[in-house]
Amino acid sequence: MNEKIFLASGNPGKLAEFFGLAGPGELPTPRLDLALLPDFSSLPAFDESAPTFAEIAAGKALHYSRLVGALILADDSGLVVPALGGRPGVRSARYGGPDATSAERNERLLREMRNFAGGERRAYFVCALALARRGRAIAIVTARADGEILHAPRGARGFGYDPIFYVRDRDQTFAELPMEQKNQLSHRGKAFRRMAQFISAI
């Protein structure tokens, strides 16, 4: 599959991970030719108010693939804390208000969970990826990565909730792991590798 795939995202943290995931030697399938969707931020935005990650990813991919006659890969991702009824969930990017910083979102979540112990601190990241061309969906995949929410941030890598997301097997947060190791374990890495198999069969 030599067709260029355009990523419909403006989040620099996610974009760095996608390019790492598509890089040389990363995929068992042939390499994917990924590029940023030109002028992404000046195109009409997609309304992300649907209640599930998969609906938002699929809706975004369909929306941008109608505006641009090309193969579009869109993602929606977020952090789910079952003991908080699934919050922040599909609202992860806007938790605590649209202008809050990642550090402020993390502080808010830590505050809300300050009395949680043991299994109540369990959390998982979800990534839904959708591929569409000219208003038709080609594939949708969803994957998750399990961990726990720490009591204080640790690590300076990654983005978003990474400093408070702890992986017990590694004894590290996502923000302490080098990107290649995070990509091996992460929701985005798992979903992307599955999507790459679909793409190689197109």
Residues that are catalytic: 76
Q: Could you list the residues that contact ligand IMP (CB under 6 A)?
A: 11, 76-79, 92-93, 125, 158-162, 174, 186, 188
Q: Closer to ligand IMP at the Cβ: 65 or 186?
A: 186
Q: Is 6 exposed, middle or buried (0-12, 13-18, 19+ CB in 10 A)?
A: buried
Q: Is 66 exposed, middle or buried (0-12, 13-18, 19+ CB in 10 A)?
A: middle
Least Å distance, CB 30 to ligand IMP, is 25
Sign, CA torsion 196/188/174/99: positive
Closest residue (Cβ) to ligand IMP? 160
Q: Closer to ligand IMP at the Cβ: 65 or 183?
A: 183
How many angstroms separate the CA atoms of 123 and 51, rounded?
Answer: 18
- The shares of helix, strand and coil residues in the chain, as percent rounded to the nearest 5, are 40, 25, 40
Q: Closer to ligand IMP at the Cβ: 66 or 91?
A: 91
Phi, psi of 114 (to 5 degrees): -60, -25
Q: Closer to ligand IMP at the Cβ: 32 or 189?
A: 189
Least Å distance, CB 183 to ligand IMP, is 10
Nearest residue to 84 via CA among 118, 116, 56: 116
How many angstroms separate the CA atoms of 20 and 31, rounded?
Answer: 12
| C-alpha distances in Å from residue 14, one per residue of 36, 186, 187 | 12, 11, 11
Least Å distance, CB 22 to ligand IMP, is 16
Least Å distance, CB 76 to ligand IMP, is 4
Q: Closer to ligand IMP at the Cβ: 9 or 65?
A: 9
User: What is the Cα Rg of the chain in Å?
Assistant: 17
Least Å distance, CB 73 to ligand IMP, is 13
